[in-house]
Amino acid sequence: MSAEATNPEAHPEARPELRRRGRSRIDLRRLGRAALLGPTSRDRLPDAIGHVAEAHRAHHPDADMSILRRAYLLAESSHRGQMRKSGEPYITHPLAVTLILAELGAETTTLTASLLHDTVEDTDVTLDQVRAEFGDEVCFIVDGVTKVEKIDYGAAAEPETFRKMLVATGNDVRVMSIKLADRLHNMRTLGVMRPEKQARIAKVTRDVLIPLAERLGVQALKTELEDLVFAILHPEEYESTRALIAAHAGERDPLPGIADSVRAVLREAGISAEVQVRPRHFVSVHRIARQRGELRGSDFGRILVLVGENADCYGVLGELHTCFTPVVSEFKDFIATPKFNLYQSLHTAVATPEGYVAEVIVRTRQMHRVAEAGVVALGNPYATATPDATADPDEERVDPTRPGWLSRLLDWQQSAPDPDTFWTVLRAELAQDREITVFRADGGTLGLPAGASCIDAAYAQHGEAAHGCIGARVNGRLTSLSSALSDGDTVQLLLAQDASSGPAAEWLDHARTPAARIAISSWLEAHPDRAMATTTAARAPLSVVGARGGGANAVADLPDATVRLAGCCTPVPPDDVAGFLVRGGAVTVHRVHCAAVAQMRAVGRTSVAVHWRATADCRVTLLAESFGRPHLLADLTEAIAHEGVEVVSATVEPPVEGRVRHTYTLQLPDAAGLPALMRAMRDVPGVYDVSRA
């Protein structure tokens, strides 16, 4: 990756992988000299990668080291004579990147590709040579992390390189693991670069690499990258945070004492657990300081409790909440509902008798490994796969570890051929730091960024067919397409039958995913006339009045009285009805369950017995709720006429969030046909409900 280097001792506080295991810091200059001299014996591992071998065996005791020896020899010989800008032999860079991954527990194939990750880009080694010597897996990963030629792409080289790596990551997440470790070592050794170049690299790291590390769950790399970027882009805040941590180091830290109390509680409860104090990294301290103002001693770290089984996590939680005062608002269960980046833990906070509040994280040791190393901890995603001799070697490989957000990214990047659009949208997509899962009506699931709307769900499920989406039901209730979805919602998307339907311009105000925004924008650009039509101002209600039919078919037990059917409930045969005498000697007829009946009785209106005539014709008012689309009024009117029903009057209200309400007063030749009429109206595309007024 053509690393730029400086003093390898820079930012020593940002070397958690060495500090955690208690190893002495590795002298890259000494390793560089060893690399130049070469191994003393061709039968054993070169001294220069002894630290890599030691770290690798700690996670994989039975690993075959011979392939690492061969990879190192090829990397060392091909990079021989190349120097980093700091003056160090270039081989120190792939060695350092490989050591980072070995510390995280990466398997042998990843380490082999890591040693070779710059050979194709910066030396005469070809992909065919890598494939012949180390196999297809290593060749695929090395190709995935190799930059595109700047001479071919010019200013678009960086976006296109990331596009290439992301597509490769979709097939094998180990590609991005190496890229993240590569960027970490380059960030550690960035000091010899000009300040403006340091800032440019740090911004790309902040906007793209750190979100990718978060999404892939590689917290050990993400936290150190955050601190290194923080130091470059915000030097004043970094120095003030450094001073704050240094001042705390000279004070009494309450966390070790709280950890001892937790150990005693768990020991008494018979729960085997390891209790550690985990200091916060610089960015975390800075965030807490901004949130809480003045920090107390317990704010500079958290307590980590590691147990053997999932059930033990909840046992620990019960003991903590019994023996300490829990801060209820701080409790989060990421075991029952893991984060989208594989993270699982219980988070809580407890108050001690001394008044300190300590945050506590409870997880199993396996959860801890995944929390630190993320996808790196998953090892080779193909190790348990059954080889298929008939598989096409050129076919895209399906990675079982591919998360939903990555699948979405791979889908929309195909619709963004312009590098600038891809780069801008990629940063916006990665800025979404939380994901939700919604259930489809057919039983499938959709992974969406937090804040996604029904519009995003439509394009995630149906692609370009979502142009014809006219509405959605969320958890069984009809809602507008602009409605935001929550984790666990069930969404049913309603598509128009009219193939010419298209999205409205205001959909862009509610679309959060790049796939939806790109698809909507492309359709609007291709249909400028239709796009203008969707943004026209709302019109006044449209009313249509037809010839009025005969009088009411209700009869009152009051001679010569005028009978009127109440408009509030529009009773029709064979509804149970009640009549009341009103001003002018008229009798109004209501359904017995109408709210107006109680009001009539409350004000002392005279009750009059009413019954239906023998004739079956009736007048009724119906409300049709629908999603707006062209020709909807004509289709509804045609459906009504097909049932042999006369339209007395019709009113169409202006659309609100794409929804339209139609009010029809209808004269039916037979009241028994009312259910069939309402069904016919509901069957009109775009109509989602028909009810009596």
Q: Is the peptide bond before 571 cis (omega within 30 degrees of 0)?
A: no
Element (H, E) at 33: helix 28-37
Is 683 known to be catalytic? no
- How large is the greatest C-alpha to C-alpha distance in the chain, in angstroms? 122
Catalytic residue among 76, 118, 122, 372: 122
What is the identity of the amino acid at 108? T
Is residue 576 part of the annotated active site? The answer reads: no
SS (H, E, C) 353-408: CCCCEEEEEEEEHHHHHHHHHHHHHHCCCCCCCCCCCCCCCCCCCCCCCCCHHHHH
Residues contacting 624, CB < 8 A, separation 6+: 636, 661, 662, 663, 664, 681, 687, 689, 690
User: Catalytic residue among 13, 47, 54, 121, which?
Assistant: 121
Contacting residues for 508 by C-beta, under 8 A, at least 6 apart = 517, 520, 521, 524
Q: Which two tokens stand for residue 66?
A: 């011979």
Rounded CA-CA distance 263/269 in Å is 10
Q: Kindly report the length of the chain.
A: 693
- What does R_g of the chain's alpha carbons equal in angstroms? 35
- Whether the Cβ atoms of residue 413 and residue 166 lie closer than 8 Å to each other: yes
Token duo for residue 224: 């150190």
Task: Indicate the DSSP class of residue 527.
Answer: -
60-63 own/partner pairs: CB under 8 Å, 24+ apart: 60/105, 60/107, 60/108, 63/107, 63/108
d(CA 503, CA 136): 45
Q: Where are the alpha helices (DSSP H) in 414-559?
A: 419-430, 454-462, 514-526, 528-534
Rounded to the nearest angstrom, the gap between the alpha carbon of residue 284 and the centroid of all alpha carbons in its chain is: 22
The closest of 597, 550, 553, 544 to 573, measured between CA atoms, is 553
Which residues does residue 216 pair with via DSSP β-bridges, in sequence order? none
Residues acting as catalytic residues: 121-122
